[in-house]
Structure 1
Amino acid sequence: MKKLLELPHAKHGSTCYVNGLYDILAWKGGEYEYFLLPIIGGMAGFGYLKFKMAKPPMMVYWGNNPKYLLKELSDILGFKLETNEGRAWKAVSQKMKESIDSGEPVMAGALDMFYLHYYPGLYKKIHVPIHYVLIVGYDDEKEKYFIHDCTYDKVQEVAYADLMRSLDVKVPGMSKKNTIRTLRELPGKLPSELEAAEKGLKHKAERMLNPPISMLGIPAMRKLAKEIPGWDDKECFRHMAAYAGMTPPLVPEDLQECNGLRFKQAELLEKLGEKYDKAGWVEAGVLFARSGELIIELCRSAVKYDGKKCGGVLTKIADTEEEAYLLMQK
C-alpha cells in the first residue's frame, strides 16, 4: 500500500510544535498570520517547575508545553483533538496508516531528532527528543513515511525503523512514547484571523495574569525572581537560557536568540494591531520587544550563574509583561 496526501506546507524553522497544525488548517481554508497560532496557543509564555528528583531540579520554560498548546488552540479555533500515546508501536503505526487512508494527516511527537537523517548535524550524533512532524503519507514497499518538517520545503522520507526509534521517547511532563495526534470535527467555517486573534489574545492575557496554577504566568515569574538568587545548580541556569532560545536543550552560542519568542510576539501584535486598528495591541507589542531584550540580558547573566543579577532582571520582565497583558485585555 502507498498513500500520499497533498497538503500545502509552510516552512518555518524552530516551530515544529505548531507547523503541522498550520498546514492542516491552511489545507482546510484557514488563513492566519503564521505566528498567531503559537502565540495564542501559549508560546512566549512562562513556567517555573520544581521537582527535587529531576535533573535539573528547577526548570524554567518560556512557552507553553506543546502537549497543552494544541489543547488551547482547539478551544480557541473550535476543533477536536484525538491523542494516542503510550501504546505499542505496532498499534500506533497501524493507526497512522488508517488515518492517512482516511485523508487525515497525523501530527507525531515528541520524537528524537537523533533518528532523522535529514538533520545531518544531529543524525546518530546528538539526542534532541523534543521535535514534532506531520505524517502525510506512507509507502509499504519502500518502508518509508512521508513527512512535513518545519525546517524543509519539500516532503521528507523517513524509514519505518527510524520513525519507530524516534518516537520511542518519554519526555517527562511533555510527551509519552509513540504519541500521535489527529484533528477531528473541524468547524464548517474556521474563525477568521481577527476572530481568532481577539479571542486568543484575551485568553492568553488572562492566563498569564491570573494563571490556574502558581507555577505559570506572571506570578511564577515573580516567584522565580525571589528564589533564583539562592540557586546553586549550574544546570538550572543553563536550562533557563536554553529554553529561552530556539534549540533547547542546547544553549546557542548567540544569546540574541534567547528572547523567549518575545520579538515574534511583539512583531505579531504590532502587525495585527495596525492591520485591524487595535492601538492596545501595538502598544503591547512595543512592551514585548522591550521584554525580549531583558530576557537576553537575563540569559547572559544566567550563563555566568549570577543569581542576584537574574533576580533583578526577572522583576523588570514581570513588570513589563504585566503592563503589556493588561493592554491586551482591553
Structure 2
Amino acid sequence: MKKVIENFIPQGGKHCITNSLKQIFSYYNYPMSEEMIFGIASGLSFLYINQAHSPMVSGRTKVFEFEKKLAERLNITIKCITSKDYIKVLDITKSMIDTDNPVLIYVDMPYLSYLGMNPHSHFGGHAVVLFGYDDSTQKFWLSDRDNHDYPIRVPNGQINQDYHLVDYNEIEKARSSSYRPFPANNKFLTFDFRGYRPIDKLIIQSAIKETCEVMLNPPAQLLGINGIKKFSKEILKWKQFSTSKLKTAGVTNYFQINKDGGTGGGIFRKMYGEFLIEAAPIVKNECLFALGQKFIDIAEKWDDIANDMWQLSLTADAALLEKASASILEIYEDEKALYMTLNETIK
C-alpha cells in the first residue's frame, strides 16, 4: 500500500511546532503565520532547567500546553493522543493519511538520521508532519522545518529538503521514545476546525495579558523573569563543571537560544516581537509596533548570549561565564520593564 496526500504542501519554518501547525492550518484553509500562532497561544516563556548532563534554558511553554491554549482561543478542538501500543498508533497514522489527513507527530530528534544529532541529545518534543507512506519501500513522507527556500543548520551542515523519506524503523524509534525531557511517547494530534473563531482584538488582548502575567508573576523561581535572573546567577556556578560538561552546556544552550535551534532567534523573542507587529493593526494600537521592535532588540541581546555559548562549546573558556552573567542580568531588567509596559498598553 502507498499513499501520499497530493494537496499537502510542505513548508519550511522557524520553530517546529508553529511550522507544523502552520502547515496543518494551511492545508485545511485556515492560513496563519507562525508568529501569530505563537503569540495567540501565549507561547513565550522562560525556564531554567538544572539537568544532570547539562543545565538548559527554554523560551516557550510546555509541549501541548501551547497547543491546548491555541485551540481554546480559536474555539477549535486539538486532541493529543498517545499510546504504548505503537502498532495501534501506526495503523491510525496510515488510516489518517489514507483519508487525506496529514498527521502532526512528536519525535525524539536523534533517531531521525537526516538531523545528524548526537545519539544522547534526546528531545522528544520535536514536531513534524507525516503526509505519505509506502509499505513497499518502508518509508514515510515527512515535513520538518527545512525546505528548498528555508535551509536550516544541523550538526553536519545545512539541510533544505522539501520533505524527507524516512524509514519506518526510524519513525518507530523516534515516536516511541520515552527519553526525557519531553518524551515523545507516540503522541500525535488530531484537529477539528468546526467552530473556528477568526482572530480578533479580544483574542490578541487575552493572549498578551496571559504572557505578561506568566512572565511577571511566575509560580516558581525557575520560571519567567525570575528564571532569567536565576540563569544569570546559576551560570557562574558552571565554573565548577568539567571541561566536557562545560562544552556540553555551551552547545546545548546555543541551540536553545539561537535560531539554528528552531527558536526563530533570540530564544523566541524575535518571533514574539513580530507577532506584536502583526497584531498591532488588528488591535488598532500603534504602540504594539514599537514594543514589538523592542522585543526584536532584546532578541539580539539573547543572540549575543548564544554566541558566547557557542564559543564556550568550542573552548570551555570559563571567562565567558562572567560576561554572559552580566548580560543576562541586563536582559532581566529590560524584559521586566517591557512586560510591565506591554501589560499596561494592552489594557
Band of TM-score, shorter chain: 0.7 to 0.9
Confirm or deny: 8 A CA contact 2:108 2:174 kept in the other structure.
yes
Task: Show structure 2 runs of 5+ residues with no match.
Answer: 149-161
TM-fit CA distance, 1:48: 0.8
- Percent identical across equivalent pairs? 20
Q: Distance in 2 between matches of 1:327 and 1:26?
A: 34
Q: Which amino acid aligns with 2:78?
A: L
Q: Find the counterpart in structure 1 of residue 20 from structure 2.
A: 20
User: CA 1:142/1:227 → structure 2, altered by over 3 Å: closer, same or farther?
Assistant: closer
User: Secondary structure of the equivalent of 1:60?
Assistant: strand
TM-fit CA distance, 1:90: 1.3
TM-score (norm 1): 0.81
Q: Distance in 2 between matches of 1:161 and 1:115?
A: 10
Q: Distance in 2 between matches of 1:113 and 1:248?
A: 14
Computed over aligned residues only, the root mean square deviation of the Cα atoms, in angstroms, reads: 3.0
Q: Which amino acid aligns with 2:143?
A: H
Establish whether residue 178 from structure 1 lines up as the match of residue 191 from structure 2. Answer: no
Q: Distance in 1 between matches of 2:128 and 2:306?
A: 29
C-alpha offsets along residues 272-328 of structure 1, whole Å, 9 cap, x if unaligned?
A: 325653223122212212212221333344424333332321221122122222333
Q: Distance in 1 between matches of 2:219 and 2:107?
A: 25
TM-fit CA distance, 1:138: 2.7
Q: Find the counterpart in structure 2 of residue 150 from structure 1.
A: 145
User: CA 1:315/1:40 → structure 2, altered by over 3 Å: closer, same or farther?
Assistant: farther
1:1-330, aligned counterparts within 5 Å? 1-9=1-9, 11-51=11-51, 54-56=52-54, 58-85=55-82, 87-112=84-109, 114-116=111-113, 119=114, 122=116, 126-127=118-119, 129-130=122-123, 131-152=126-147, 154-183=162-191, 185-192=192-199, 194=201, 196-231=203-238, 232-233=240-241, 234=246, 235-248=248-261, 259-274=266-281, 276-302=283-309, 303=312, 304-305=317-318, 306-329=320-343, 330=346
Q: Which amino acid aligns with 1:59?
A: M
Q: Which amino acid aligns with 2:255?
A: A
Q: Distance in 2 between matches of 1:323 and 1:282?
A: 17
TM-fit CA distance, 1:86: 5.3
Q: Distance in 1 between matches of 2:213 and 2:268?
A: 19
Q: Distance in 1 between matches of 2:19 and 2:265?
A: 20
Confirm or deny: 8 A CA contact 1:170 1:176 kept in the other structure.
yes
TM-fit CA distance, 1:115: 3.3
TM-fit CA distance, 1:194: 5.0
TM-fit CA distance, 1:113: 5.3
TM-fit CA distance, 1:114: 4.6
Looking at secondary structure, tell me which structure has more helix per residue.
Answer: 2
Count of matched residue positions in the alignment of Structure 1 and Structure 2:
314
Q: Distance in 1 between matches of 2:194 and 2:335?
A: 33
Q: Find the counterpart in structure 1 of residue 157 from structure 2.
A: none
Confirm or deny: 8 A CA contact 2:18 2:34 kept in the other structure.
no
